[in-house]
Amino acid sequence: MTPPRRFRAGRFLDSAAVHAAADANPRLRRFMRTVAGHSEAGEVRSRRLLEHLIRRIVDDVGDLHLGNAVSRLERIAVLRENIASILDHVLDGRPLPEGTQVAALGEYFDQLRTEMRDLSRPRDGIVGDAPLRLADDAAAYAESLLRDFEAGGGRHVEPAAVVDDAFRAMPANRKAAVRRAAELEPQALWRAVASETEGGKRAAVADLETRLGGRLTPDELARLRTAVDDLGRARSRGLQMSEARLAEILARIADPDLRAVVASGDVWLTQQLAAHNPEALATLWQRFRDRGGRADDGPGFRSYLRHDMVTYGRGVLGEYSAAFSLSSIELFLKGPDANVKVAGTDLVGIGHDGWAWLIDDKSHRSTSVSGVSALTENLATNLRRDAADFRDGIARLQRGDPGFTPDPRILDAISRMEDAAAEIDRINRRGSAATRPARISRALEERRLRLRVTSAAGEVREISQALRDLGLAVERTGTPVPLPPTGGR
Q: Is the pLDDT of residue 161 over 60?
A: yes
Task: Please write the tens of the pLDDT for every residue from 273-312.
Answer: 898 888 889 999 999 999 999 999 999 999 999 888 777 7
Bridge partner residues of 358 (DSSP): 348, 451
Provide, for the chain, the percentages of residues in helix, strand and coil under a 3-state DSSP scheme, each rounded to the nearest 5. Answer: 65, 5, 30
Per-position DSSP letters for 270-322, written without gaps between them: HHHHHHH-HHHHHHHHHHHHHTT--TT-HHHHHHHHHHHIIIIIHHHHHHHHH
- DSSP H or E segment with residue 176: helix 172-184
100-104, 158-162, 169-173, 186-190: least confident range: 100-104
Q: Is residue 3 situated within a structural domain? A: no
CA diameter of the chain: 95
Closest CA to 156 of 43, 71, 273: 43
> Is residue 125 located within the same domain as residue 40?
yes
Q: Is residue 1 situated within a structural domain? A: no
Task: Please write the tens of the pLDDT for every residue from 122-158.
Answer: 777 676 777 777 776 677 677 777 767 765 544 456 7
Is residue 295 a contact partner of residue 288, using CB atoms and an 8 Å limit? no
More reliable by pLDDT, 267 or 417? 417
Task: Please write the tens of the pLDDT for every residue from 321-356.
Answer: 888 889 889 999 999 887 787 889 999 999 999 999
> Is residue 458 located within the same domain as residue 437?
yes
Rounded CA-CA distance 425/356 in Å is: 19
Is residue 231 a contact partner of residue 167, using CB atoms and an 8 Å limit? yes
Q: What is the DSSP letter of 374?
A: G
> Is residue 364 located within the same domain as residue 437?
yes
Q: Is residue 486 situated within a structural domain? A: no
Q: Is the pLDDT of residue 485 over 60?
A: no
Confidence at residue 69, expressed as pLDDT on a 0 to 100 scale: 82
pTM for the predicted model, two decimal places: 0.51
Q: Is residue 308 situated within a structural domain? A: no
Type of residue numbered 6: R
**Crossing angle of helices 15-24 and 218-240, rounded to 10°:** 140
Q: Where a domain ends, among 121, 152, 183?
A: 152
Q: How far is CA 151 from CA 148, 324, 353, 414, in A?
A: 5, 44, 61, 64
Rounded CA-CA distance 386/391 in Å is: 9
Q: How far is CA 143 from CA 31, 139, 148, 192, in A?
A: 17, 6, 9, 31
Q: Rounded to the nearest 5°, which phi and psi values hold at 178?
A: -65, -45
> Is residue 342 located within the same domain as residue 457?
yes
Q: What percent of the chain has pLDDT over 90?
A: 40
Q: Is residue 489 situated within a structural domain? A: no
Rounded CA-CA distance 480/474 in Å is: 13
Rounded mean pLDDT, 5-24: 77
> Is residue 235 located within the same domain as residue 252?
no
> Is residue 139 located within the same domain as residue 18?
yes
Torsion of CA 290, 291, 296, 298, to 10 degrees: -120
Per-position DSSP letters for 248-272, written without gaps between them: HHHHT---HHHHHHHHTS-TTTHHH
Q: Is the pLDDT of residue 167 over 90?
A: yes
**184-192: long-range contacts at Cβ-Cβ below 8 A with a sequence spacing of 24 or more?**
184/211, 184/212, 184/215, 185/211, 185/212, 186/42, 187/33, 187/36, 187/42, 187/43, 189/228, 190/42, 190/43, 190/44, 191/43, 192/228, 192/232
Which residues, 6 or more positions from 474, have their beta carbon under 8 angstroms from its beta carbon? Answer: 452, 453, 454, 455, 460, 461, 462, 463
> Is residue 268 located within the same domain as residue 388?
no
Residue 83: which pLDDT band, with cuts at 50, 70 and 90? confident
Say whether 449 sits in a helix, a strand or coil: strand
Rounded CA-CA distance 355/473 in Å is: 15
> Is residue 133 located within the same domain as residue 175?
no
Q: Is the pLDDT of residue 54 over 80?
A: yes
Closest CA to 53 of 87, 26, 81, 21: 21
Name the residue range of residue 203's domain: 160-240
Confidence at residue 333, expressed as pLDDT on a 0 to 100 scale: 95
- DSSP H or E segment with residue 416: helix 408-429
Confidence at residue 386, expressed as pLDDT on a 0 to 100 scale: 97
On average, the pLDDT of the chain sits at 85
Rounded CA-CA distance 233/230 in Å is: 5
> Is residue 147 located within the same domain as residue 17?
yes
> Is residue 214 located within the same domain as residue 90?
no
Structural domains of the chain, count: 4
Q: Is the pLDDT of residue 33 over 60?
A: yes
Q: Is the pLDDT of residue 233 over 90?
A: no
Confidence at residue 330, expressed as pLDDT on a 0 to 100 scale: 92
Is residue 37 a contact partner of residue 83, using CB atoms and an 8 Å limit? no
Q: How far is CA 468 from CA 362, 370, 403, 443, 450, in A?
A: 15, 10, 44, 15, 12
Q: Is the dihedral of CA 137, 141, 143, 144 positive or negative?
A: positive
Q: Is residue 313 situated within a structural domain? A: no
Q: How far is CA 462 from CA 347, 454, 458, in A?
A: 19, 10, 12
Q: How far is CA 306 from the centre of its chain?
A: 17
Confidence at residue 136, expressed as pLDDT on a 0 to 100 scale: 63
Closest CA to 108 of 95, 94, 96: 96
Q: Is residue 257 situated within a structural domain? A: yes
> Is residue 83 located within the same domain as residue 97?
yes
Closest CA to 324 of 478, 170, 434, 441: 478
Q: Where a domain ends, among 240, 274, 306?
A: 240
Residue 427: which pLDDT band, with cuts at 50, 70 and 90? very high
Q: Is residue 314 situated within a structural domain? A: no
